[in-house]
A and B are shown apart, each in its own frame.
Chain A
Amino acid sequence: MDIIFSVVLIIAGIGLFAMIGADPAAAASPTELGAAFWPQIILAIMIVLSVVNIVTSLKKMKADGKTVTSDIDVAGFFKSKLFIGMIAVAILALVLPTIGFVPACILFLIGYGILLKADNIPKLAIISVLITIVIYILFQGALDIMLPRGTGFFRELALTFEKILPF
């Protein structure tokens, strides 16, 4: 996995190096280093270090008698709680602009709570709603942070909540 990541870094690094170098606006002048100078230096260092890392890893792998793919368990990863957790957090970020903060927060708290094996689901649901109310009043009301409202029906719902707020 380590070697694969380093290879990805090298390929991406070479691509970005070429891309920024090909931009004529980023070229240097006698008294200006140009927009390409700094990123190209960093990319060059990163590529060299990644090559060093691959060589070191290969040596270590040979000594341990492992192969490039021996530490990778793709099927196990997709079945793991970690993968579901990553998906849950990604879904939260993606649905936030559509369904708004309040529904997204309640659903996430319940969903992730179940993933983390909460003992009592009805109790978890009640706690999730209460936590959402406290967070909403604190941030949207007291601190005046405009939390995402969502679109359509969810936006109307959010506007109704905002009218109820005491602040």
Chain B
Amino acid sequence: MFDLIVTGFSIVFAPATFLFIVGGTIIGVIFGAMPGVSASMAVALALPFAYAMKPIVAIAFLVSVYCASITGGGITAILFKIPGTPSSAPTTFDGYPMAQRGEAGKALGYSLIASAFGGLVAAFAMALISPQLAAVALKFGPSELFAVSFLGLSVLSCLDSDNIVKTLISGCIGLLLACIGMDPMLGIARFTFGSSTLLGGIEMIPVMIGLFAVTEVLKQTNKQKKIDVEKDSTTKDGDTSAKLPSFKELWDTKWTMIRASILGTVVGILPGAGATIASFLSYAIEKKVSKHPELLGTGIPDGIVASEAANNGATGGAMVPLLSLGIPGGNAAAIMMTALVIQGVQVGPLLIKQQPEYLASVFASMFVTNIVMVIVSMGIARVFAKILSVPYSILGPVIVILATIGAYATNNNTGDVVLMVGAGIIGYLFSKLKYNSAALVLGLVLGQMCESNFRRAYTLTNGSIIAIFSKPITFVIVAACVIMLVYPFVKPLVSKKKAA
């Protein structure tokens, strides 16, 4: 282990490599903060630079871009309610309300520290127990993956305790939207109404951008006088710079940070899961275990920490199957694998044994990136935060234009912009009628994973439901989900009985 660390740092602290990592971090944070540039797209954009490097430097550079882009996504999520990357969508739930209260700097501080912590935990997990983690991941078959996604959905019952029924309906709408297009098992068209455009399904990114960014601009359009007053108080405080929270404030979020980092790392390892599901799942679990769940979503640090520590934890997790088994866990890992394969590196189970310097290089690069990232992001966030003092008559339309580019760039398709606008208008209707946009997004994100794994498990067990749920991991997770789902309904009855 010690040798691995020494080898890794000797690679990344070579002057040229270190500069590449710092450059990769800057590029990653900026790309991540741009709406429409996802983490995998950021890695793809950085790929041409990597071709000119030695393979071991190239992987260190690409890892730095990947980790930093996930962090960068949180900046615009907090300041403008536009998630720069889909994995930052839950960051908007608490980050944006904090920014609106004039605590943008503090929100950014929490986001950056949590991101760095999550990334470091994942880096150490990857370096210390990569083969063991990969072995655990291989035990997760369809039934276990169904249970994990169901765990995420179980939070629907407590996302908004004042409107449980409406929140559940919102989640159902999200799950239904995820059904549109080709059925994941048989390829049968569902709810496409003969449209070839709908065959590909509903894109998650335009819906998220519409529900969060466009809805917010429409809300502010309706109450513009109020926002200008709020903005005055924000700028008077001078708190729009990326001011770090105090040590005590950070210490208060320690359990959330640890929980989210571990969860993010584990989810990152699971095939087909990734940073987006990690951050949603982490936010969902936080809502369940928090001492004050009713405050989540109103602008508290725990919400930001849960989302950002988990999505950065997933970056390290995603590298585990890539380095241990030669299996890319997500799009960004697949692009990194391509870069290595093109340079003649044999990626597979023997890579760690025969060329441990690759694992060492990735670990050290993640370690350095997660530290450099805090400094770089603070500088970049400061520039972005200045934009908050721009009058809303300019800022509002600019947010819509950036959202438009973000939706369009997903597939270079103007149809996605129409989808974004539709989602924005529905989002406004949702907020007026007290339905829950976050529940809809949760359903959309987890819907396909939940359905396809349940159906796959059913086929693998020859149609035996009992066999699916009798697997130990599945049983434990599903039992926990059922308790979580039923608890909010049972709780008032128990309290009534006690009172009587």
Which A residues form the contact surface with B (CB < 8 A)? 1-2, 5, 9, 16, 19-20, 23, 25-26, 30-35, 37-39, 42-43, 45-46, 49-50, 52-53, 56, 80-82, 85-86, 89-90, 92-94, 96-97, 105, 108-109, 111-113, 115-119, 124, 127, 131, 135, 138-139, 143-148
From A33, A89, A145, give the contact of B405 (CB < 8 A).
A145
Q: Is there contact, CB below 8 Å, between B394 and A81?
A: no
| Contacting residue for A23 out of B172, B188, B398, B418, CB 8 A | B188
Say whether, besides A89-B218, A148-B408, A9 and B169 are in contact (CB < 8 Å). yes
Q: Which listed residue, B168, B408, B455, touches A147 by the CB 8 Å rule?
A: B408
Q: How many A-B residue pairs have CB under 8 A?
A: 169
Whether the pair A56, B405 counts as a contact (CB closer than 8 A) is no
Query: With contacts A35-B186, A109-B401, A148-B414 known, is A115 near B221, CB below 8 A?
Result: yes
Q: Across the A-B interface, give the 9 residue pairs with the lowest CB-CB distance, nearest first.
A: A112-B397, A35-B183, A116-B393, A46-B172, A118-B393, A85-B221, A35-B188, A82-B222, A38-B451
Known: A86-B428, A96-B408, A124-B394. 17 other contacts (CB 8 A): A9-B169, A25-B186, A26-B183, A26-B190, A32-B459, A82-B428, A86-B425, A89-B218, A92-B421, A105-B401, A113-B394, A116-B221, A116-B392, A118-B394, A139-B405, A145-B412, A148-B408
Question: Among B397, B408, B455, which residue has the most Cβ atoms of chain A within 10 A?
Answer: B397
Contact yes or no, B172 A146, CB < 8 A: no
Given A53-B165, A85-B218, A33-B455 contact (CB < 8 Å):
yes
In the complex, 24 of the A-B residue pairs with CB atoms within 8 angstroms, ordered by the A residue number, are A1-B432, A2-B433, A5-B429, A31-B463, A32-B186, A35-B185, A45-B172, A46-B169, A46-B173, A52-B165, A53-B166, A81-B221, A81-B224, A86-B428, A92-B404, A92-B421, A105-B401, A111-B397, A112-B393, A116-B392, A118-B394, A119-B393, A124-B394, A147-B405
Q: Quick one: CB contact mask for B147-176 with A, threshold 8 Å, 1 for yes?
A: 000000000000000000110110011011
Contact: A42 with B175, CB < 8 Å?
Answer: yes
Contacts of B217 in A (CB 8 A): 85, 89
**Which of B34, B165, B179, B414 lies in contact with A42, CB distance below 8 A?**
B179
Say whether B392 contacts A53, CB under 8 Å. Answer: no
- Cα separation A20 to B193 with both chains bound (whole Å): 11
| A46 with B176: CB separation less than 8 A | yes
Known: A112-B397, A118-B391. A93 touches B418 (CB 8 A): yes
Residue of A nearest to B31 (CB): A143
Residue of A nearest to B219 (CB): A82
State A5–B426 Cα separation when bound (angstroms): 11
Q: In the complex, which of the residues A39, A46, A116, A139 contacts B224, with contact meaning CB atoms closer than 8 Å? A: A116
Distance in angstroms between the alpha carbons of A160 and B34 in the assembled complex: 25
Which listed residue (A38, A82, A92, A116) contacts B179, Cβ 8 A?
A38
A165 CB to closest chain B CB (Å) equals 16
Instruction: Return B122 CB to nearest CB of chain A, in Å.
Output: 27
Identify the closest chain A residue to B404 (Cβ).
A92
Instruction: From the candidates A43, A116, A145, name the one contacting B397 in the complex (CB within 8 A).
Output: A116
B: residues with CB less than 8 A from A are 31, 34, 36-37, 45, 165-166, 168-169, 172-173, 175-176, 179, 183, 185-186, 188, 190-191, 214, 217-218, 221-222, 224, 391-394, 396-398, 400-402, 404-405, 408-409, 412, 414, 417-418, 420-421, 424-425, 428-429, 432-434, 451, 454-455, 458-459, 462-463
Q: A49-B172, A117-B393, A118-B393 are in contact. Are A93 and B37 (CB under 8 A)?
A: no
A134 to B241, CA, bound (A): 23
* Interface contact B45-A143, CB-CB below 8 Å: yes
Given contacts A53-B165, A85-B221, whether A109 and B179 have CB atoms under 8 Å apart is no
- Asked if A97 and B400 sit within 8 Å, CB to CB, the answer is no
Contact B191 A39 (CB under 8 A): yes
User: Do A56 and B165 contact each other (CB < 8 Å), given the known contacts A89-B400, A97-B414, A116-B392?
Assistant: yes
Question: Please, how many angstroms separate the alpha-carbon atoms of A27 and B72 in the complex?
Answer: 45
Main SS of chain B's interface residues? helix
Return chain B residues, CB-CB under 8 Å to A89.
214, 217-218, 400, 421, 424-425
| Bound complex: CA A96 to CA B455 (Å) | 40
Q: Please, which residues of chain B bring their CB within 8 A of the CB of A111?
A: 397
When distances are taken between beta carbons in the complex, the residues of chain B under 8 Å from A56 are 165
| CB pair A144 B165 closer than 8 Å | no
In the docked arrangement, what's the CA distance between A37 and B175, Å?
13
The answer on a CB contact under 8 Å between B408 and A131 is: no
Interchain CA distance A90-B425 in the complex, whole Å: 9
CB-based contact A42/B172 at 8 Å: yes
CB <8 Å contact, A92 and B400? yes
Determine if B412 and A146 form an interchain contact, defined as CB atoms under 8 angstroms apart: yes
- Least CB separation from A118: chain B residue: B393
**Which of A38, A96, A111, A144 has the most B CB atoms < 10 Å from its CB?**
A38
Asked if B190 contacts A35 (CB within 8 A), the reply is: yes
The interface residues of chain A lying within 8 Å CB-to-CB of B393 are 112-113, 116-119, 124
A143 touches B37 (CB 8 A): yes
B176 CB contacts on chain A under 8 angstroms: 16, 39, 42-43, 46
What is the minimal beta-carbon distance from B416 to any residue of chain A, in angstroms?
A: 9
Kindly report which residue of chain B lies nearest to residue A95, judged by CB atoms.
Answer: B414
B188 and A50 within 8 A (CB): no
B455 contacts A25, C-beta separation under 8 Å: no
CB neighbours (8 Å) of A116 from chain B are: 221, 224, 392-393, 396-397
Q: How far is the CB of A49 from chain B (nearest CB, A)?
A: 5
For the complex, what is the distance from the CA of A108 to the CA of B403, rounded to whole Å? 13
Of A20, A42, A49, A82, which contacts B221 at CB under 8 A?
A82
Pairwise interchain contact B396-A112, C-beta atoms closer than 8 A:
yes
On chain B, the residues within 8 Å of A139 by CB distance are 34, 36, 405, 409
Chain B min CB distance to A80 (Å): 7
Cα A16 to Cα B175 with chains together (Å): 14
Q: Across the two chains, which residue of chain B brings its CB closest to A85?
A: B221
**Among A46, A108, A146: residue with most chain B CB under 10 A:** A46
